[in-house]
Amino acid sequence: MNKCSFCGHEFSDEAAQSCASCFLRRLCGKLKCPNCGYEVFIRRPGIISRLRRRKDNTVTAEQRSLADLHVGDRGQISGFSTYEPKKIRKLMSLGIYPGLLIRLLQVFPAYVFQVGFTQIAVDREIAQEIQVTPSAGQS
């Protein structure tokens, strides 16, 4: 149950679906009070909090940071070694998500890598926070 902070009316999530036809309704985080129409922002766990809550956020033997790879190495992004929401949002705004394939193109003066058709340059600090599982046959 949710409670409107404007009028005090209690309502369920289903009753507050003012955007039922919107494809972003599950990600929006807004509920509209059916009584007064006031929009209430609620916090729902997003990708950042799911990454934070991972019980197994340890680096396995096959995982390495992007900074540990060699030029030409390929792999799959397995996660981030940081818990700072600001850094995770920065990486995700660049299009860097766990599960995507990555290829390291350059290591100096900046780490340049390719994700899909996009080439991204980051400094060593950021490269160390991107965890990669190298493709088979690469050391």
Looking up residue 127, the CATH number of its domain turns out to be: 2.30.30.90
Assess if residue 46 is contained within a domain: no
Mean local confidence (pLDDT), 42-57: 54
Helix (H) or strand (E) holding 103: strand 101-106
Is 104's pLDDT higher than 90?
yes
Please tell me whether residues 113 and 72 are part of one structural domain: yes
Please tell me whether residues 109 and 74 are part of one structural domain: yes
Please tell me whether residues 31 and 65 are part of one structural domain: no
Residue 8 Cα to chain centre, angstroms: 34
State the residue for tokens 């919107």: 22
Please tell me whether residues 36 and 75 are part of one structural domain: no
Please tell me whether residues 12 and 63 are part of one structural domain: no
Assess if residue 30 is contained within a domain: yes
CB proximity list for 35: less than 8 A, separation 6 or greater: 4, 7, 9, 11
Contacts made by residues 35-43, CB under 8 angstroms, sequence distance 24+: 35/4, 35/7, 35/9, 35/11, 36/4, 36/6, 36/7, 36/9, 38/4, 38/5, 38/6, 38/7, 40/2, 40/4, 40/5, 40/6, 40/16, 42/2
Assess if residue 48 is contained within a domain: no
pLDDT tens, residue by residue, 114-132: 998 999 999 999 999 999 9
- Can you give the residue range of the structural domain that contains 33? 2-41
Please tell me whether residues 127 and 64 are part of one structural domain: yes
Assess if residue 47 is contained within a domain: no
What is the count of structural domains for the chain?
Answer: 2
Work out the mean pLDDT of the chain and round it to a whole number: 77
* Predicted confidence band of residue 55 (pLDDT cuts 50, 70, 90): very low
40 or 71: whose pLDDT is higher?
71
Please tell me whether residues 79 and 125 are part of one structural domain: yes
Please tell me whether residues 67 and 128 are part of one structural domain: yes
